[in-house]
Amino acid sequence: MTTLQETIVPSKRVRRITVLISGSGSNLQALLDSASTPSLPNAAITYVISSRSAAYGLTRAKNSVPAIPTSVCALKTFLNRNQGAGREDYDCEVARQVLDSKPDLVVLAGWMHILSDRFLDILNGEKQPPQPPALPPPRPSSLPTQTEPIPSASTSSSTSTSVPKEAQGHEGNTKSLPEPPTTQTFPIPIINLHPALPGAFDGANAIGRAFEAFQTGGIQHTGVMVHRVVAEVDRGEPLVVRNVEIKKEDKLEDLENRIHEIEHQIIVEGAKLVLEELDKEA
């Protein structure tokens, strides 16, 4: 006879998702709205990194309940504050902040920078993350905020980077985010949302290029996908792919809106797929 103990399913650790953004964050919002629902079960968005301080996605994260810790790592600011540093150093700093957030999954949701091999090597566990850059000279009259260097914490030059305690699921906080695991598992999977079909319009401005191609008779429809992130931009294994109709009467905005609607569905589906894989491997 099965005892009660045998029928109790050990509760699975809530999976932690770090989201990288550069813009309005509507796809981040789709993930926030779906986390811990049947669409994206047993998951929480636990950290958001933006490449732009003006990204509205940062506001979405801070308005979430519980509020989600964020940091800004802007390329130009980083290079200005770290004389002699290059693009790869920037990528290493972003990777360091990602590791600091202790994710199970990283989602690029409109992240507008190509990630170098160094970033991928760090996320694969093949290379160590760098030490935080030296603190920039203190700014007169500015108090440290969540996105500015906090003197006592390890920080990057452009933003604060240590994941605040409330983000680490510490006991006692009734609305805390899920606890990070005691050890980080590698490789950390990274997925990207791309508004085009596999191999069609890699890179930036994919929707605009598809719209132009339709108008010149080059394509009959376009699409959207969520794919794994590899060194070659937008050429990682597709995980979710949807065709998107382009109508003769469409303006660019009509196509963008049609695509965004589907993006908000498939970014959740893609995240769910990868988390299910992690649970199978666990």
Ligand X SMILES: Nc1nc2c(c(=O)[nH]1)N[C@@H](CN(C=O)c1ccc(C(=O)N[C@@H](CCC(=O)O)C(=O)O)cc1)CN2
Rounded CA-CA distance 223/247 in Å is 13
Catalytic pick from 170, 194, 260, 264? 194
Give the one residue of 47, 234, 268, 274 binding ligand X; rule: CB under 6 A: 234
- Can residue 231 be called a binding residue for ligand X (CB under 6 A)? yes
Among ligand GAR, ligand X, none, residue 213 binds (CB under 5-8 Å by kind): none
Helices of type H across 103-251: 117-123, 206-215
By C-alpha distance, which of 18, 52, 34, 17 is closest to 269? 34
CB of 208 to ligand X, least distance (A): 13
Q: Is 262 in the site for ligand X (CB under 6 A)?
A: no
Q: Which does 89 bind (CB under 5 to 8 A by kind): ligand GAR, ligand X, none?
A: none
Contact 207/225 with Cβ under 8 angstroms? no
The interface partner of residue 21, options being ligand GAR, ligand X, none and the CB cut-off 5 to 8 Å by kind, is ligand GAR
Binding of ligand X by 239 (CB under 6 A): no
Distance CA 103, CA 188 (A): 7
Q: Is 226 in the site for ligand X (CB under 6 A)?
A: no
For helices 252-281 and 26-34, the axis angle rounded to 10 degrees is: 40
The rounded distance, in Å, linking the Cα atoms of 233 and 228 is 10
For residue 260, indicate whether it is catalytic: no
**Cβ–Cβ contacts within 10 Å for residue 127, how many?**
15
Quick one: what does residue 46 bind among ligand X, ligand GAR, none, with the CB cut-off 5 to 8 Å set by partner type?
A: none
Binding site for ligand GAR (CB under 6 A): 21, 23-28, 57, 109-110, 193-195, 204, 206, 260, 263
Please give the single-letter amino acid code of residue 15: R
Residue that is written with structure tokens 């695991």 in the block: 181
Q: Which of residues 85-124 bind ligand X (CB under 6 A)?
A: 108, 111-115
Query: Which spans of this chain sit near ligand X (rule: CB under 6 A)?
Result: 108, 111-115, 192, 194, 203-204, 229, 231, 233-234, 236
